Structure 1
């Protein structure tokens, strides 16, 4: 993957590196309320540089071993979003899961779609993956629009799939088969 990709006049997408923990912490603190309805309940310890350093080290180890690709959207020195490929599986599956968020100040800007589209190109071209899966809460229409915009299709619904905001929540399941022609946006 190139060192960075320009997504807009002010925002770039790049792989996380050692030393990014403080910027990640600031993004999570700044977006704490914005992300709370969509993420697992976070302990106070999550919002420390120590916790972010530990999580970053884990994600960089996943990157080194080929089972993850942690990316961040950067506006100057601020993280304004994340896209992460995780659970990369090789062999006959050639698949991964994707998760993402966009800073509350940037929702509706098209940055999530642009970052996800580029990540899918890398998943297919650089990583040689065949399929990417994603899930959203049933009522997360914004995230569902982003997924559909970049060619994901809904494949089902999983009851009590993830514990989000302290409760087991149903999720819609999506997938994108890489190499398929992109659908025409509606």
Structure 2
């Protein structure tokens, strides 16, 4: 990942994130839900940053950005965290269309695995639309195993879409109270 840095989301990242979403709007449209125009504005992303940082403070979600210089070229999410007897979370990620094929998605997934392990999570899951074979390859090469298909799971591009489900077991230790 020469020239790239992964770091936690921070207050003030909204403008760079908005620029990345605007630049990749067409690239991400195949996989993302419909978004209001305000989502692509600096103000809209600053509101998203504030919301996401609130989720982080509550221990429910963590977002990381992939930077190339002062430009955001990817986003990594560890969310839907459930504690108690489950100790599980869901990952999601995307990479700027001009930075594909450089191993950033795999490095990002690896980063999420490390962070989830530090948080004491036992299991991670991820899902891809059936036709998203590149992302499926990233997950498989990152130690995730396919365990099923969720029919009509996500509402994307004005229809309910099937999703291939993946999981990775991180450890078999009993649940604890890790210090993030």
Normalised-by-shorter TM-score class: over 0.9
The answer for the alignment partner of 1:167 in structure 2 is 159
Alpha-carbon separation, structure 1, partners of 2:133 and 2:101: 12
Which residue, out of 46, 52, 70, partners 1:77?
70
**4+ residue stretches of structure 1 with deviation over 6 A?**
none
Alpha-carbon separation, structure 1, partners of 2:124 and 2:46: 27
Which residue, out of 87, 97, 100, partners 1:104?
97
The answer for the alignment partner of 1:5 in structure 2 is none
Alpha-carbon distance, 1:35 to partner: 0.4
TM-score normalised by length of structure 2 = 0.93
The answer for the alignment partner of 1:64 in structure 2 is 57
Q: Does the CA-based 8 Å contact 2:151-2:163 persist in structure 1?
A: yes
The answer for the alignment partner of 1:31 in structure 2 is 24
Alpha-carbon distance, 1:136 to partner: 0.3
The answer for the alignment partner of 2:147 in structure 1 is 155
The Cα RMSD (Å) is: 1.0
Alpha-carbon separation, structure 2, partners of 1:121 and 1:139: 28
Alpha-carbon separation, structure 1, partners of 2:32 and 2:40: 14
Q: Does the CA-based 8 Å contact 2:152-2:161 persist in structure 1?
A: yes
Equivalent position SS for 2:77: strand
TM-score normalised by length of structure 1 = 0.90
Alpha-carbon distance, 1:122 to partner: 1.5
Equivalent position SS for 2:46: helix
Alpha-carbon separation, structure 1, partners of 2:2 and 2:163: 34
Alpha-carbon distance, 1:166 to partner: 2.2
Alpha-carbon distance, 1:179 to partner: 3.1
Q: Does the CA-based 8 Å contact 2:91-2:112 persist in structure 1?
A: no
The answer for the alignment partner of 1:115 in structure 2 is 108
The answer for the alignment partner of 1:21 in structure 2 is 14
Q: Does the CA-based 8 Å contact 2:15-2:43 persist in structure 1?
A: no
Aligned length: 172
Which residue, out of 47, 54, 63, partners 1:54?
47
